[in-house]
Amino acid sequence: MKAWQKPGFWLPLVIVLVWGGVVLLIHQDTMRETAFIILMAVGLASSLNILLGYTGYVSFGHIVFFGLGGYTGFYLLSAQGWPLFAAAIGGGLLSALIAGLVGLAVLRLRGAYFALATIGINEAARAFVSNFGPYGGATGMFVNFSAYQKYGGPGPALWTTFIFLWITTLVVLLVSYLVKHSRFGLGLLAIREDEDAAMVMGVKAPQAKTITYVISAFFPGVIGTLYFFKNGNIEPGDAFQLHMSIEMLVMVMLGGMGTVMGPLVGAVGYQWLRGYLLTSPIFKDLHLAVAGAMLLVIILFVPTGVVGWVRNHVQRLQKVLE
């Protein structure tokens, strides 16, 4: 059966495709804003899943690639005048490069040490950018409003950014599926189960892990550029938020790590819950507590997440929910 005939392949893609299409058709600002936040979450969660879900390496500070890529893309946009698409790719490429360099060293660590190291990298990056002149230092950078004229004004610019994000999310989901169902992906899953045994069986673990790290870092860089362009400014405090990194983790775990559908389900579910909690007067302050409680329940009782649980309990859906 060819890949595109399997529902596990086209289901997540079709969902995102149709959803984006509907938003574009109805052409309403509020709907686009909500969709932007959710698609961003899906993209980030799926990127993290490529590393976490397939190799088992927990990157607590993954947001650093969102921040560094976002900063670079933003710099290319505002200081160098690059068009949005090129700047976003540029941001992604820088994140991938940093991941490659850092990964070679840091991926030698296992388990909790690796997790701590990623936190350290995120904090060091934030502190560094705060001091880095060309990136605006502590007060960050901004886009002069006239930059939006290149896209036909702020309105069309926001829609263009949305379309780019939509396409990026589709690509991430595609890549996630392709990695999982390739020989390369098989090697990653072996690393996740038992790294030493995998190496004995011939999996070149160090290279495989680094390549995965690079792939998982590229997309947050692109997404970061798009997000900060939409906001019109970027500051160190916004770009390296540890708590955003943790939310990515929660979304992957909630949906089911190691699946393609999982991050999609987890991101949508989590963002819906968050949006509801933040605007409800009773729960406004408690949204973090509720998210925490949810994460705890998942870790203790349903570690495979929603998608994992459904796959284990409903045989028939196994082919559909990859």
Partner 1 sequence: MLDQLISSLTDGLLLGFVYGVAAMGLTLIWGVMSVINLAHGPVIALGMFGTYLLFTHLGVNPYLAMVPVAGGGLIVGLVIYVIAVHRVINAPHLSSLLATFAVNMIIIGVGTAVFSTSPQNIDYSLGSVEVGFLTFPASRLVGAFGAILVTACLYLFLYFTRPGKAIRAVANNRMASELMGIPSSRVLALSFGLGTMMAAVAGGLIATFFPFTILSGGPYELKSFVICVLGGLGHPLGALVGGLLLGGLEGLIPTFMPVSWVPVVEFGLFVLVLLVRPSGLFGAK
Partner 2 sequence: MKRFGIGFAVVLSLSLILASLTAPSGAPAAEKTVTIGFTASQTGKLNVEATRQINGLHLWVEQVNGAGGIKLPDGTVIKFADKFYDDESKKERVQELYTKLINTDKADFLISPYSSGLTDASAVIAQQYNRIMITAGAASDSTYKKGYTLVYQSYTPASRYLTGAVDILVKLTPKSKKIAIIHENDKFATDVVKDLRKYAEEKGFTVVLFEGYDSATADFAPFINKIPADVDAIMGGGHFADTTTLARQLYEKKINTRMIALLVAPPEPKFAELGDACISVVGSSQWEPLAHFTKESAQKEGIAWFGPTGEEFIKAYKAKFKEDPSYHSAGGYVAGMILQDAIQKAGSTDTAKVKAALDAMDSMTFYGRLKFATGPKDHGLQVGHEMVYIQWNKDQQGKPVKQVVWPAAGATASPFVCPAR
Least distance (Å) between residue 61 CB and partner 1: 10
Tell me the C-alpha distance between 194 and 208, whole Å: 14
Tell me the C-alpha distance between 212 and 208, whole Å: 6
* Residue that the structure tokens 């005048």 belong to: 81
Tell me the C-alpha distance between 124 and 129, whole Å: 9
Q: Which of 296, 312, 314, 319 contacts partner 1 by CB under 8 A?
A: 296
The 63-102 site mask, x for binding partner 1 (CB under 8 A), equals: ----------------------------------------
Work out the end-to-end distance of the chain between its first and last CA atoms, rounded to an integer number of angstroms: 15
Asked if 26 interacts with partner 2 (CB under 8 A), we say no
Asked if 238 interacts with partner 2 (CB under 8 A), we say yes
Task: From 19-27, 91-99, 242-250, 263-271, give the range in contact with partner 1 by CB under 8 A.
Answer: 242-250
Q: Which of 106, 143, 191, 307 contacts partner 1 by CB under 8 A?
A: 106
Asked if 290 interacts with partner 1 (CB under 8 A), we say yes
Provide long-range contacts, Cβ within 8 A and 24+ apart, for 30-35.
32/158, 32/159, 32/162, 34/275, 35/162
Q: Give, as ranges, the residues between 133 and 162 that touch partner 1 (CB under 8 A).
A: 138
Asked if 231 interacts with partner 2 (CB under 8 A), we say yes
Q: Give, as ranges, the residues between 157 and 186 that touch partner 2 (CB under 8 A).
A: 158
Tell me the C-alpha distance between 40 and 23, whole Å: 15
Asked if 206 interacts with partner 1 (CB under 8 A), we say no
Tell me the C-alpha distance between 217 and 96, whole Å: 5
Reference 255, options 42, 86, 23; nearest CA is 42
* SS3 category, 142: strand
Least distance (Å) between residue 106 CB and partner 1: 7
Q: Under the rule (CB under 8 A), what is the footprint of partner 2?
A: 29-30, 33, 37, 130, 137-139, 142-146, 148, 154-155, 158, 231-233, 235, 237-238, 279, 284
